[in-house]
Amino acid sequence: MSRVAVSFIESSRLPTAWGEFDIHGFEDTEFNKEHVVLTMGDVASGQPVLARIHSECLTGDAFFSMRCDCGNQLHAALEAIAKEGCGALFYLRQEGRGIGLLNKIKAYKLQDAGADTVEANEQLGFGADIRDYSMLRPMVEHLGLKSVRLMTNNPRKVAAMEQQGVKVAERVALHTDSNPHNEKYLQTKAGKLGHMFER
């Protein structure tokens, strides 16, 4: 069911290191959030469009944290879309798999003491992943997006896109290099959250 609380506000061009995108802003008044989609080319053609659903990760996306793979995945997705010349990147304001930035820092502290990323969220009283993707429906409807080749390792995102009325013609694996700081994190995503890291 469409969330009428999510509405389109404005679009403009956005030159980036990878090329020139259009940025589309949406307001979610139910949760007081602002979401954006970066698009390149004709995403309303009806053909399967290269796309990614990316949840906000301030620590990884902006501060280049090595505790996760988020920033590297964001950059890889933008680069892939620019190389193809057409695509869409949904940037959703759902920090820390939905628990928020300050709780994410608390979760990091618990991880420093030995918990994995799922255990840390649960010790704080949250589910392992409490993200809600229903805001996608008004966003894809505004863009006229019908079919995607979804860049993700997360089967929940495939299901989420299909639940919002968009056909996932293909899942495109999105892999980045691991490091000593995120090895346990990646293992937990595979073992407990079902992420698919096959190459």
Q: Which residues of 50-60 are buried (b: 16+ CB within 10 A; e: fewer)?
A: bbbbbbbbebb
Which residues of the chain fall short of a pLDDT of 70? 1-4, 176-177, 179-199
pLDDT in tens, 86-131: 999 999 999 988 899 999 999 999 999 998 888 888 999 998 888 8
Catalytic, 129? Answer: yes
Q: Where are the domains of the chain?
A: 12-94+131-193
Catalytic pick among 97, 131, 137, 171: 131
Structure tokens at 79: 């680069």
Q: How far is CA 187 from CA 3, 40, 168, 190, in A?
A: 34, 33, 26, 5
pLDDT for residue 130: 85
pLDDT for residue 151: 96
Catalytic, 22? Answer: no
Q: Classify domain 12-94+131-193 at the CATH topology level.
A: Rossmann fold (3.40.50)
Catalytic pick among 69, 129, 149, 171: 129
Burial class of residue 135, CB neighbours in 10 A (0-12, 13-18, 19+): buried
Q: Name the residue among 144, 174, 176, 141 with its Cα closest to residue 65.
A: 176
